[in-house]
Structure 1
Amino acid sequence: MSKLKKNLGYQTIYQILNTCIPLITSPYLARVLGAEKQGVFSYTQSIVNYFTLFAMLGVVNYGTRTIADCGKDRGKRSRTFWNIYILQLCCTVISISVYAFYLTQICSQNTYIAFLQIFYLLGSLVDINWLFFGVEKFKITVSRNMVIRICSVILILMLVRKPSDLWIYTVIMSGSTFLSNAILWFFASKEIDLKAIKEISWFEIVSHIKPNLVLFVPLMAMSVYHIMDKTMLGLLSTYKQVGYYYNADKIINIPIGILTGVGTVMLPRMTSLNKEGKLEEARKLFLLSIELIIVVAVAMACGISAISKEFTPFFFGKGYDECIRLIIDLSPVLVIKGLSEIARMQYLIPNHKEKIFIESVFCGAGVNFVVNWFLISRLGALGAVIGTLVAELVSCVWQYIKMNKYISCLTTIFKSMIYVVFGVIMFTIVRVVALCFNGGIVALFFEVLTGIITYAVICLIYWKVTKNKIVGLVIKKK
């Protein structure tokens, strides 16, 4: 358990850094590049993301699970790694070739920026994060990412000064991803035998295709309908609307990183517990994780909504008022995504129940496409927000209804809805405090402080009264 706590600690530190970095770069870029240029970046990035998706297949989750299954057998881990990586290498080369065709034969606008996005694909060529996730060595991935992220921020602030510097921003963002992944190869020899590449078996490589595809199909559908919003906005609306959505989505994705970080850490642990037959321990950990995620996600969603009216003009500057409503309307997705992430990473994938995952994601993707098609042309970015919310909700509900046949978790979710009431109370009190000020950083400071204290006090009182297990984690244990 101490190793798990350390990994959660590393991941938490990294996600806090990820939270702080956009707080530095987003307002700067909103003023320097403007909504339209950010829309161009977001649109071209959404296109290359499709190719990156096919390059990686389901390797991140499948590779993590398969490496974790190898346990401490270094020889087996080495052979498994190389067989999976060769498959990843082949898929990436194919994706790069197809993307090159897209650039030369299909792409007609912003071709230069689209070309510079290719570093994301090159990053997939050398991405072996899944190896370190599988052996639960998160310190290496976190420390490396922290250094690269900090350096990229410094470069952005130094070099990106005007709208025409969009190409520099693109190189920094895509290039840092490539560099971050490439550096991991210097540490790979500590976990695997590099010479084991001579033992690769094409038969074993082929054997990894089917289970990889099983995880890739839902990942593809899920990623597609996440990327789909920006792509359809670019096609059916304007780059400015893409820019508004891009910035609102960026604010919401800051705390989402913390929620997904927990899932990344828990996947190999849950896989190990299931393999060792510790099913009751895995069940208790899963149910506790559901409540913890709801506690954190509700606080984030209600907190962001409560301060968005003052935060948006202060953070992005003039001309981004449309983002206020987008942020408020999009904030419930934090709770929905948090629950979906827990289901996927802590139960469905470790227990090899990918079919439920696949069904839920395809339902969500279909709903998202239909809602986007009808609403984006009429409502612009707001239509994309509605499409995201409906799609995420449909996907999440499907997962838990199906999953409840194997593990009783709906009761935990319903009981945890009390935190939504606490969130609404916090929201109301924060808005009352906001009336005492006329905007500005002082108002934001007191709003945030009020929200944190209010929610924390209510939760602590509730945990004490109900003798909730969480109170032991928060107060008694260090």
Structure 2
Amino acid sequence: MQKTSLVKNIIYKILLNLFNIVIPLLIGTYVYRTLGAHSIGKVQITETIYNYFFIFAVFGVYQYGLREMSRIKHDPVKVNQFFSSMFIINIATSLISFLSYLLFSYVGYRGTAYFPILMMYSINLVCNIFYVEWVNEAIEKYDFITVKTIIIKIIYVVLLFRLVKTTNDYKEYAFLLILTTVLNYVVSFIYVKRKIKLDFSNITIKQHIKPLLIVVVFSNANVLYNQLDRFMLQYISDAAVSYYVMAQQMMGIINTLILSIIQVTIPRLSYLSGSKDEDSYLILLNNISKIYSAFLFPASIGLLVISNASVLIYGGAKFASSGPVLAVFSIYMISVGIESIQSNQIIYVKRKENVLVKLVFICGLLNLLLKVGLLQMKWLSPTTAIVTTTITNFLLLALENIFIRKSLKMNYSLFNFSKIKYLYFSLLFIPISFVIKMFFTRPTIYFFVTIMSCVVVYGAILLFTKDEVLTLIIIRLRRYFSKYSKT
């Protein structure tokens, strides 16, 4: 694979996630203001319950399939046989999860306002059989993923404005979320089947079960982290869940865009690690980490300083309680970003996921105990929930880093000056925001003036210090426009 191919894939991934940012920003305000905290809270609680069963339906096939197919993608016979094995496993886990979900929903929520929405979400578990997007990522078909997702999102937006108009339309909103997922699954499956054939001549099931079980645990760490928060907040109120989820989604919009850099390099890193090209692996890993840090730290600190203004603009005054929650989520985003590099690009790529599972479980169990303690003492709130989750996630990050240095003995650090300097630069946003707030009190004006000021200051620092990440971006842009002008 050529370097230019990786750059092209990153561009497609960023374009896709930019679109995934624009759409929620355009319609998020409409959805939250139209449905309100209690109605949208019903959908989000239902989605939280569904996610627990979805974990077992997917059964780690996405992450495991992506890594393993990336290693064999140049062998068509092995690809067909591996895909067929994963497809059979996916059918079995989807059907078992579907039946278990129906039983749980009927026994636990029959006769409640959640039950009709739970039944709608059961459709996703059946259609999970066709969830093969991991194949497109493994063979690096990011152009198809981008175009497909954009078209389906446009359909979703059109239908949303036609069907969701009052606080009572939360069922219609849930239906559109499900419809979008189903369309994504089916279209991707049709596309993949044109390139990869089902070959049952050498099916291997047993050898994949153990690694899949391990992947299920570490790739679904949010069960003991964010998903746990959402589940336990339902005992406070529907509104408490909506305050938490709103802040989580706003952080997720930014985090998804930045994580594009990591997600798109996992197949390449897996391939290099599998081919024993350790030098190339470390060079790519360090370069990607440096670029990622240059975006992660300013995005996190920037989100921190505009958190209160953001929720007022996004959801209105009735969602003002989400401001402190979003502020903590901005710090949480730093831990998520660094942990994602350590777990996905190092520990998982090096096939040490068994160690990762133990670390995730230890910190997740601690998070569970902290939540139970908060609930018993009546201190549980959206803010305290994410505070304890942030603490345990930083602990997980620290334990992973110790393992990487002591056991893997890798010549790699996320905390050297070439990466951490971007955090120091970004801390200037805090005094800048205080000064701006002295002159601009209206949330909208404060929001835009703060963003523009921080971007200008951060860009000026990078230019003054002749930062290599900025230099690399400028060189790439010059080459692109030079090539474009000649055609």
- Measured against the shorter chain, the TM-score band is over 0.9
Give the equivalent residue in structure 2 for 1:46: 48
Give the equivalent residue in structure 2 for 1:321: 320
Secondary structure of 2:439 counterpart: coil
Whichever residue aligns with residue 214 of structure 1, its letter is I
CA contact (8 A) 2:241 2:382 kept: yes
The 2-side partners of 1:168 and 1:149 are apart by 16
Give the drift of 1:7: 0.9
Give the equivalent residue in structure 1 for 2:208: 208
The 2-side partners of 1:469 and 1:412 are apart by 17
Q: Aligned to 1:135, which of 130, 135, 139?
A: 139
The 1-side partners of 2:396 and 2:162 are apart by 42
Deviations along 1:426-457, one digit per CA (max 9) or x if unpaired, are 23213312322231433322221111111122
The 2-side partners of 1:122 and 1:303 are apart by 41
Are 2:128 and 1:111 equivalent residues in the alignment? no
Whichever residue aligns with residue 172 of structure 2, its letter is I
CA contact (8 A) 1:309 1:324 kept: yes
Are 2:351 and 1:347 equivalent residues in the alignment? no
The 1-side partners of 2:260 and 2:359 are apart by 21
Secondary structure of 1:410 counterpart: coil
CA contact (8 A) 1:50 1:224 kept: no
Whichever residue aligns with residue 220 of structure 1, its letter is N
Give the equivalent residue in structure 2 for 1:427: 430
State how 1:170-319 maps to structure 2 within 5 Å.
170-194=174-198, 196=199, 198-199=200-201, 201=203, 204-235=204-235, 237-319=236-318
Give the drift of 1:65: 1.1
Q: Aligned to 2:125, which of 121, 125, 130?
A: 121
Deviations along 1:146-167, one digit per CA (max 9) or x if unpaired, are 2112221222122111111000
Worse overlay, 264-273 or 210-219: 210-219
Are 2:459 and 1:460 equivalent residues in the alignment? no
Give the equivalent residue in structure 2 for 1:4: 6
CA contact (8 A) 2:218 2:356 kept: yes
Deviations along 1:194-215, one digit per CA (max 9) or x if unpaired, are 4x2x4252xx122211121121
TM-score in terms of structure 2 length: 0.92
Worse overlay, 411-420 or 368-377: 411-420
The 2-side partners of 1:191 and 1:469 are apart by 40
The 1-side partners of 2:402 and 2:455 are apart by 33
Secondary structure of 2:244 counterpart: helix
Whichever residue aligns with residue 384 of structure 1, its letter is A
State how 1:399-418 maps to structure 2 within 5 Å.
399-405=400-406, 406=408, 407-410=410-413, 412-413=415-416, 415-418=418-421
Whichever residue aligns with residue 429 of structure 1, its letter is I
Worse overlay, 437-446 or 379-388: 437-446
The 1-side partners of 2:95 and 2:224 are apart by 21
Give the drift of 1:413: 4.3
CA contact (8 A) 2:34 2:165 kept: yes
RMSD over aligned Cα atoms: 1.8
Secondary structure of 1:332 counterpart: helix
Secondary structure of 1:399 counterpart: helix
CA contact (8 A) 1:42 1:242 kept: yes
Whichever residue aligns with residue 430 of structure 1, its letter is S
Deviations along 1:322-356, one digit per CA (max 9) or x if unpaired, are 11111112211111111111112211122111123
Deviations along 1:300-333, one digit per CA (max 9) or x if unpaired, are 1111121223222222112111111111122111
Number of aligned residue pairs: 469
The 2-side partners of 1:36 and 1:200 are apart by 52
Are 2:93 and 1:91 equivalent residues in the alignment? yes
The 2-side partners of 1:450 and 1:349 are apart by 39
Give the drift of 1:412: 4.1
Structure 1 residues 248 and 273, CA gap change in structure 2 (3 angstroms): same
CA contact (8 A) 2:70 2:267 kept: yes
Deviations along 1:124-174, one digit per CA (max 9) or x if unpaired, are 221001111111112112221121122212221221111110000000012
CA contact (8 A) 1:123 1:179 kept: no
TM-score in terms of structure 1 length: 0.94
Give the equivalent residue in structure 1 for 2:78: 76
The 1-side partners of 2:397 and 2:56 are apart by 24
Q: What stretches of structure 1 of length at least 5 have no aligned partner?
A: none
The 1-side partners of 2:146 and 2:474 are apart by 27
Give the drift of 1:411: 6.2
Give the equivalent residue in structure 2 for 1:157: 161
The 2-side partners of 1:456 and 1:367 are apart by 40
State how 1:334-413 maps to structure 2 within 5 Å.
334-376=333-375, 377-405=378-406, 406=408, 407-410=410-413, 412-413=415-416
Give the drift of 1:28: 1.1
CA contact (8 A) 1:371 1:387 kept: yes
CA contact (8 A) 1:92 1:121 kept: yes
Secondary structure of 1:63 counterpart: helix
The 1-side partners of 2:127 and 2:334 are apart by 31
Structure 1 residues 429 and 400, CA gap change in structure 2 (3 angstroms): same
The 2-side partners of 1:27 and 1:34 are apart by 10
CA contact (8 A) 1:16 1:258 kept: yes
The 1-side partners of 2:288 and 2:104 are apart by 43
Give the drift of 1:217: 2.1
The 2-side partners of 1:440 and 1:323 are apart by 14
Whichever residue aligns with residue 380 of structure 1, its letter is S
Deviations along 1:194-253, one digit per CA (max 9) or x if unpaired, are 4x2x4252xx12221112112112223444422111101013x11111111111111111
The 2-side partners of 1:224 and 1:101 are apart by 23
CA contact (8 A) 1:333 1:389 kept: yes
Worse overlay, 433-442 or 384-393: 433-442
Whichever residue aligns with residue 354 of structure 1, its letter is E
The 1-side partners of 2:89 and 2:21 are apart by 34
Q: What stretches of structure 2 of length at least 5 have no aligned partner?
A: 478-487
